[in-house]
Amino acid sequence: MTDAPDELSLVFQALADPTRRAIISRLRSGPTTVGELAEPFAMSRPAISQHLKVLERAGLIERTADAQWRRCTLRTEPLDEASAWVDRHRNEWNQRFDLLDQRLRQLKTAPTASTPRTERTDR
């Protein structure tokens, strides 16, 4: 067995950080230079570069060089795969919650041992 994380784990790990999610959101409008991506963040260029490496490793962005410009482009395929995984599991979770809700309703309406019984008076 390998210690390398699977692709889905890399995507979720990348999306776990709010800075990386903000970078992904900024890339929705199209390819952007690293400098433009770094502008709104109060962090160093090396720190931004580390975030971009995580996103690139997860397959969420692609970096290209055009002369002195470094551009980042969003890749949506890994997001589609993560979304499909969540959708599959959401259906299963919803079914389980529905069954739990149904069982709780049954328990709520069923007589219990603590319910007082009426005494027999057929003497």
Whichever domain contains 54, its CATH number is: 1.10.10.10
| 39 CA to centre of own chain | 25
Q: Is residue 30 part of a domain?
A: yes
Question: Is 89 inside a domain boundary?
Answer: no
Round the average pLDDT of the chain to a whole number and report it.
88
Beta carbons of 71 and 32 less than 8 angstroms apart: yes
Res 2 pLDDT > 70: no
Q: Is 118's pLDDT higher than 80?
A: no
Whether residue 90 is contained in a domain is answered as no
Q: Is the pTM of this model over 0.85?
A: no
pLDDT of 98 reads 87
Domain count, the chain: 1
Q: Which structural domain range is residue 64 located in?
A: 7-77
Q: Is residue 83 part of a domain?
A: no
Say if 24 falls within a structural domain.
Answer: yes
Q: What is the pLDDT of residue 101?
A: 87
Does residue 49 sit within a domain? Answer: yes
